[in-house]
Amino acid sequence: MTVTPVPVPTDAPIPTAATTTTGAAPVTAGAVANPVGAVPTSGAQGQETQLTDEQILTQMQAIKDEEANAHPLVDHSVDLLELAQEYENGSEAFKRKIQNLSDTHDRMRRSRGDGNCFYRAFAFAWFERVMLAIKSKPELHVNAVRTIKETKDLLLAAQFELLAFEDFYQVTLETVQNLVHFTSEELLTAFQNDEVSNSIVMHFRLVASAFLKTHQDDYAPFLEFGQTMDEFCSMHVEAMGRESEEMMLIALTKATHVSIEVAYLSGNQAADEVNFLPFLPDTAPYMPPLVLLYRPGHYDILYRKSHCLDGVI
Amino acid sequence: MAKPMFARRLSKELKDLAMNAPAGVNIIDANDFKVWKLGLAGAPGTLYDGEKFQLEFNFGPNYPLESPQVLFVGDNIPVHPHIYSNGHICLDVLYNHWSPVQTVASICLSLQSMLSSCTSKEPPPDNATYVKTARANPKHTAWAFHDDTV
């Protein structure tokens, strides 16, 4: 896509949202959440001090560190009813639905809300399922390793350059291979490590993108008028931090042969029950679906009570 | 994983560039994994035919998950509606549309095609104001993009 610059750095002061709290770092808050949000300052007019690029970087890193401590990329699992406490003074509908959900689901695990939550939740839930079943159902591990190896061919078929994706692929494959000896704590540590965790997210983004690109006939009709699949994928799938839509869930499910059920927790007053939407691969599922909890704009992991799991783990 | 990811990736990219650099692209200086300088030649038959430009790539420790900082440097900055006279480039893939599937080579190709499709050598309309107020790092600019056929 060709672009024209629209007048850019202005003399406008820094956005107020970023300046009010600390008074120190004007530029950073927006910049971390969204690279476009960075606003150049206009020389030191009045009270705003011009920061050097070096200082901006330091501050951006500090904000990232703070965010990382408050919200790990993937958190420890918690009792599902802890979620209800979030809505203590809020929506009755949410509270009722969580209560009903707790009949069949007992725990949940948060994925950081950084736009990558779906991919990260999917990967963690899948790998954890495989790891916990390593003794009882070793074939899940065999399947997972084979599936990840197959994604390399899928990416090549979609014309991705090996050089550009092999590091992410390699980290993902190594993580899956390591599930044989990982403890729960080690798996969590891996997913809390920026490089490992983001590489896995990136790999699954590319897998979803490659699937859509190699099945254009099926999915192009869902795009906005005039948009090509390549444009859609480069803008919404391949870039980190871009939120996922149902099309990405469908693509990832089919590309990995792993089924998902998404529990939609909405504030809709009319219903007491949570709606479950299944995403099924084309092949017969070889394990019960991973369960994700969706609240508008965000995915976390849900754990179905073991007696509802067909005894898989 | 002894080497950090950016080093692994950049050593592969360097090897690839050394062996099969795109036409008109050459390595001037790539002695570390922080800053690379590349030469970019205007393509034959375009407005920039015969001109030579220099590009500077700055890589952070989160490359390629985060985009490198890319600018034109040296005494010949292309006069182009999307390139400011301080070397800053208005190209979406360098900022909010960055994806790790991009490489140094693919960025060079994008820039070359941006130059090649130019029909009139003019600086951006807001060049003077921008250059006066911009920071050294173009990634700290709030770029706004809209499709155009320029």
* Confidence (pLDDT) at A56: 75
pLDDT recorded at residue A226 = 87
A226 touches chain B (CB under 8 A): no
| Mutate which: B13, B80, B93, B101, vs A, most A CBs within 10 A | B101
pLDDT score of A5: 45
What is the distance between the alpha carbons of residues B10 and B12, in angstroms, rounded to a whole number? 5
Q: Give me the pLDDT at residue A309, please.
A: 52
A74-308 belongs to CATH 1.20.1300.20: yes
**Domain residue extents for chain A:** 1-60, 74-308
* Cα(B141)–Cα(A71) distance, integer angstroms: 28
Looking at mean pLDDT, say which of A36-40, A41-45, B61-65 comes out highest.
B61-65
Catalytic annotation on B118?
no
Report which DSSP code applies to B98.
-
Q: Which of B34, B99, B112 to mutate to test the interface with A (most CBs of A within 10 A)?
A: B99
Residue ranges of domains in chain B, CATH in brackets: 22-135 (3.10.110.10)
CB-based contact A6 B16, cutoff 8 Å: no
| A41, pLDDT greater than 50 | no
pLDDT of residue A117: 96
Residue type, A36: V
pLDDT tens string A215-246: 999 999 899 888 999 999 998 999 999 999 99
Q: Report pLDDT for A18.
A: 30
Q: Is A154 on the interface with B (CB under 8 A)?
A: no
Which of the four pLDDT bands, split at 50, 70 and 90, describes residue A307? low
Instruction: Encode pLDDT of A241-264 as tens digits.
Output: 999 999 999 999 999 999 999 999
Strand duo B69-73 + B35-41: pairing: unpaired
Above 60 in pLDDT, residue A182?
A: yes
Write out the two tokens for A3. Answer: 């672009």
Of A36, A163, A164, the CB nearest to B143: A36
Mean pLDDT in each 10-residue stretch from start to end of chain B (150 residues)?
A: 85 94 94 96 95 96 94 96 95 90 95 94 93 88 64
- Flag whether pLDDT at A302 surpasses 70: yes
What pLDDT does A25 receive? 29
Q: Mean pLDDT, to the nearest integer, of A156-179?
A: 97
